[in-house]
Amino acid sequence: MLAVLAPATLSAAPFAAYVMDARTGQPIYKQNADTRLHPASLTKMMTLYLAFTAVERGQVRLDSQFTISSNAAAEPPSKLGLRAGQKIELRYLLRAAAIKSANDAATAIGEGLAGSEAAFGQQMTAMARALGMQNTQFRNANGLTQDGHFSTAHDMTILGRHLFYDFPQYYNLFSRRSADAGISKVSSTNKRFLDGYSGADGIKTGYTRAAGFNLTASAQRGNKRLIATVFGGTSTAQRNQVMGELLDSSFTRIPDRVRETRPSPPRFAAQQKIVRRAQVAPTVAATAPEPQQLVLSASEPPARVRRPTASTAAIAVADPLAEAVRQATRAPITAKSLNLAASTRPPLRPLAQRAAVADALATAVAAAESATPSAQSPSLAAPVLEASDRPVPAPRSRTGNGQASTAAVAQPDSGQADAVAQAVAEASAESAGTMSLLASPAPKPRSETVILAAMGEGDISEPAALEIVSRPSGSGRSWGIALGRFGSQVEAEKLLLRTALQDGTALEGADRRIADTARGFEAAFVNLSKADAHLACERLKARSQECRVTGP
């Protein structure tokens, strides 16, 4: 290892290296890992990370048109060759920045997302802090040398791990050898390392005179995956050789199986809210004491008016009759009546209730005959009500003249009884209109028998047989989309799951299906309508995903 790293000390740029177990984030090897150096085009890793974030959040789309500014068009090589005022889709800018490391494409991405390259640099630095990159500060989107623009081998390795885990759907950009960038076809600057090291699948190269030859690489062997960064290489070949030696030695130092720990999502620092208080000079109106005010909640609430019910209406109707009885038969409270009221009486039988009420009335009337008018009782109904279990049945009269009820009440033959009967008759006559409801007979109970229909002799035949018509549940949804064939069932399942999460609206109700064919495992979505199948396939093709619509 020392023999390989020795030439790096001869370069103008300091050498730094960091190797991490991608599955756990644990360091395997580090040298000057936290030294702040020029990252060069490794900066474009953060530019692409923010672009992927904006696409996933719905702020932009891959087919969004970005207008090229004169600042972006004037960037030095490596560049795509964009012209000022030209419009190009975001997908082509991403390919040019990731594969060719085009400076003009990276600047166009930053200006299109943030409005200016300076504002985008602030967003890049804020995201670096959220990802845990404590020794990184960005000033531009392409990585050209600028004061205050620096990073470390440790921080760039952290960023490479987040690219791998946070955006697996876009990670394949870093392993492509070439791609269509809209106006031309671009080739990868990392092609030599991808072809020369077994298991390598990314990520990004970088070079300036101040930085030297930099590389952040990712490689996999079996269940093991490493991510490493090298700063300050003397040449492309020497840098790739050092990276290969670092990865080879680190693969032998990590276990084959380990519990995978994914990186935490970005944690943005909470921004403090600035509260501005207005300075207002005091005025007479503002400082004067408030006059006494009447508080509505302190007053008593108004009495609630209760609506009359059927029971209260019946009592109001019976009041004139009771008042007439009291006025006509005022009797003094004698010892006999007091004893009657105070004694405990056994419950009366239902058949003898009416006779008991009549006897109580006769007794009260007889007591009233021998008493003086000045000592009459203020209430005749009190001893009667206390002695009885139920009130006297209301008088019934079809004609409304009250004669039947008068005869029932005036059973004694004395003169006082005649007065009571006369008073009752007069009270009944006054309320004849209101007593008609009480005097009317109770309605007959409604029959619970329900007659549905009358059936004749012709209705006794057997009912006609019902014809049951069934349709398949997936009627009209016999279309599907095929996403290609894969070497293993796990790869096919991962693609189907990732596609279902990204296009949940178009693929709603679709079923995932994996067919084991002679050429591999074919992943497909079935049970789609024709319109949904074409829509989902167009969206997948827009993301450079192979797709084919299958019909019934």
Tokens of 15: 């050498």
Q: How far apart are CA 26 and CA 29, in angstroms?
A: 10
Q: How far apart are CA 428 and CA 216, in angstroms?
A: 110
Are 499 and 540 a contacting pair, CB within 8 Å?
yes
Are 504 and 525 a contacting pair, CB within 8 Å?
no
Q: Three-state DSSP class for 240?
A: helix
Helices and strands (DSSP H and E) totals, the chain: 19, 13
Residue among 41, 250, 377, 405 flagged as catalytic: 41
Are 424 and 381 a contacting pair, CB within 8 Å?
no
Tokens of 259: 């519990």
Q: Find tokens 């007979």 and name the residue.
A: 441
Q: Find tokens 């989107």 and name the residue.
A: 141
Q: How far apart are CA 514 and CA 485, in angstroms?
A: 9
188 is known as an active-site residue: no
Which amino acid does the sequence have at 347? Answer: P
Phi, psi dihedrals of residue 408, rounded to the nearest 5°: -70, -35
Are 140 and 38 a contacting pair, CB within 8 Å?
no
Beta strands in 96-223 (DSSP E): 178-180, 185-187, 200-208, 212-221
Residue among 69, 101, 188, 377 flagged as catalytic: 101
Burial 442-452 (b: 16+ CB within 10 A, else e): eeeeeeeeeee
Q: How far apart are CA 43 and CA 146, in angstroms?
A: 12
379 is known as an active-site residue: no
CB neighbourhood size of 177 (10 A)? 11
191 is known as an active-site residue: no
Are 181 and 100 a contacting pair, CB within 8 Å?
yes
Tell me which H or E stretch contains 396: none
- Give the 3-state DSSP-derived string for 327-383, with helices as H, strands as E and coil as C: HHCCCCCCHHHHHHHHCCCCCCCHHHHHHHHHHHHHHHHHHHHCCCHHHCCCCCHHH
Are 425 and 402 a contacting pair, CB within 8 Å?
yes
**Annotated active-site positions, please?**
41, 44, 101
